[in-house]
Structure formats: C-alpha cells, structure tokens
C-alpha cells in the first residue's frame, strides 16, 4: 500500500492511534503551558504531533504487508 493510500485511510477514520496521540499531545502541551514553558510549547506540540503521525503511518504500512 502506498503512503498516500495509508494517509487517506487514516484521514477517513480507520485508525485509533492518531486521535488518541493528538489528544495526549495536547494534554502534555497544556501541562507545559501551565508550568510556565510557553515559549517551547508550540514547538513541542508540533514535534509531538509529527511523531504521532509518523508512528501511525509506519504502523499502518507495516500491517499492510
């Protein structure tokens, strides 16, 4: 399965890792903001969501083999 097909499958809701990962990323980032690390929170949020997306695509691609 190609990368584009895997991404399309995830966008249409056939996976649960992505919504859970984004929710955990938002929760973790909100804890950083509460503790005063506002400058780094945006960068960390982007990195966490990119990591969740990469993990989810990798896992979906591996399960299609």
User: What would the pLDDT profile of 1-48 be if each residue is shown by its tens digit?
Assistant: 688 877 777 776 656 778 888 899 999 999 988 888 888 889 999 999
Q: Is residue 31 part of a domain?
A: yes
Q: Is residue 53 part of a domain?
A: yes
Contact in structure between 25 and 52 (CB atoms under 8 Å): yes
Report how many domains make up the chain: 1
Q: Is residue 1 part of a domain?
A: no
Q: What is the average per-residue pLDDT within 45-62?
A: 87
**H helix or E strand, kind and range, residue 4:** helix 3-11
């Amino acid at each position: 399965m190609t990368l584009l097909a895997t991404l399309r499958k995830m966008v249409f809701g056939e996976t649960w890792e992505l919504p859970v990962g984004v929710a955990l990323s938002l929760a973790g980032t909100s804890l950083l903001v509460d503790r005063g690390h506002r400058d780094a929170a945006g960068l960390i949020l982007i990195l966490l969501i990119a990591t969740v997306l990469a993990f989810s695509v990798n896992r979906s691609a591996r399960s299609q083999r």
